[in-house]
Chain A
Amino acid sequence: MRASRGYWEESWRRLLRNRAGVASGALVLLLGAAALAAPVIAGLVLRQDPLSQDLHATFQGPGPSHLLGTDNLGRDVLARLLYGGRVSLGVGFLSVALATTVGGVVGVAAGYYGGTADDVLMRLVDVLLAIPGLYLLILVGAVVTVNAVTLSCLIAFIGWGALARLARAEVLSVRHRDFVLAARSIGASDLRVMLRHIVPNVLHVAIVAASLGVGAVILLEAALDFIGLGVAAPTPTWLVVLPGSMIFLSVLATNLFGNAVRDAFDPRLR
């Protein structure tokens, strides 16, 4: 019965059957939508600007004018959360997308061609995996000012190694299968064999690694943000609690969704 459906359709169905997976996926979408629509929500609905200060109204509790209160400079906390979410999720998804692309290309090429190129690339991966990422980011972040895009590039630069290693291992396991040999024997080019026959068999590794990677990057970016601000002066409790819980919620949702994706897409778990 199962053979009648393709791998992707079957995986997709399994994902939709997983209630925790659907719920966390919906939460990720909701958080993403809120972040994307931050200017609209903050500007038109709340009529609050995340940057405008009001020094006469600092440290206010939740109320009708500021739904979640104000911070030490009298800025609206809800508006700041929405805009903060843009950075958190943006860096999370962008850096994982970059790292997955680079790691996937390197891993597939290294696994497919083997030989010296493979040796050199995998030693480079060994090196990258031995660098304490957060440590290096603290150093670089203190020396130059980073924006969301450069930070994503840096995180991706340090982070692609793990995926390259996974993808390569997966390529090695399919490289000598009959369907690859068949494709090559009818004269398919290397590029065509890789794109049409190898990549589809490796893709599930990339999807799983990527969906589990987003949460880790959000935590990394939050830690950097925190350090950039320095240890805060006495701050009312809800200001510490709120952004932290938003980060917690985002990471929890992406991790749970990542677990559901792994359960659905990893053929070994079938």
Chain B
Amino acid sequence: MSFTRMMEGNEAAAWGARLSRAEVVPAYPITPQTEVISHIATFIAEGKMKAQYIKVEGEHTAMAAAVGASVAGARVFTASASQGIAYMEEALWMPPGRRLPIVMCMVNRALAPIGGLRPDHNDSLMQRDNGWIQLYCENSQEVLDTIIMAYRIGEDRRVYLPVASCYDGYFVSATATPTTVPDQVEVDEFLPPYVHEMYSLMPETYRPRPFEMNIAKARYEVQQAHERAKVVIEEVDVEYSKRFSRGYDGLLEEYACDDVDAVLMTMGSMTGTARDVVDEMQASGKRIGLLKLRGFRPFPTEELQGLAKRFHAIGVVDRNTSYGSAGGGIVSMEVARALYPLEDRPLLLNFHVGLGGSDVTMRQIGYMADKTLEAVETGRVEKAVDWVELVDLGEVM
């Protein structure tokens, strides 16, 4: 039966894997992901989840075992964070190229040495080029729903790609928010059992992976799968919201964007705070809206281009760094590339904030919104890349 209670993001992730009937879970513990796998271990021990839990000796093996299990036809779930994702990186390139629909939680945490245990997005964003679909979640409910949707997306024959559900450590992973756990029967109807139609490793049905001699062709095929995934993600979202009365607007969510001059674009847990700030500012007559970037891969280029005409300025909030880059954070560079072909494009501002998991405060979001609106007024960008945490906003942190 469906039920609702307060639940931390990590427990919600474990429920997502359980309801999706993941068959193999190879995993290695790392803060702040640990509760995901300990909850799964408990589910299995209590006989409530029928899965093979492999207690591997490191993240590299976790992903390699996931690849093995997926090739052999099992539905696979795993989770990691930060240094674990970095250690896993070599193996993370295998599932997209082999077209394996593994689902993984990337619980965001800053990387060493200028990091800590708290979240920023560099760990998952450094995996942006390897072919994984990346969806960023805001709260426990979205984490749970995204995992179930992720299997439908990844296992769609138009896609066959691995999907990462990314969410901020602590702010999402360890913060309890009201979460509805859907009924298993409903989930089973939404998510049929996994069968890979391209190849099989079983002796009776052995079909090796087609060995593509033309590397460019094989890569282009993965790129095309990402293009098709944009459509599939929207479809799955619509179907999910029809069945479970909750949806997330696919790759990009507009929040209070009617009749505004400018928007902030956020990703992950800070979106919740930004919603409140935008509400307050609009109440006092400021024309600022909010875009929540949910799908970073595939990047919603066309959707963003369509929206851009309505705004005079976009302030992109980056919880990451890309040292020595062409300008600013990783998300802002993607946005710049997406908007560049437009003749009449909005002004683009970029803010670095919340690095190493420091709080993104309401005052900081207010500051960023004001700066973005200021650009609309003056018609020019005063500071293209702004490190908000280095600005004295009179806050005691």
- Indicate, yes or no, whether A interacts with B: no
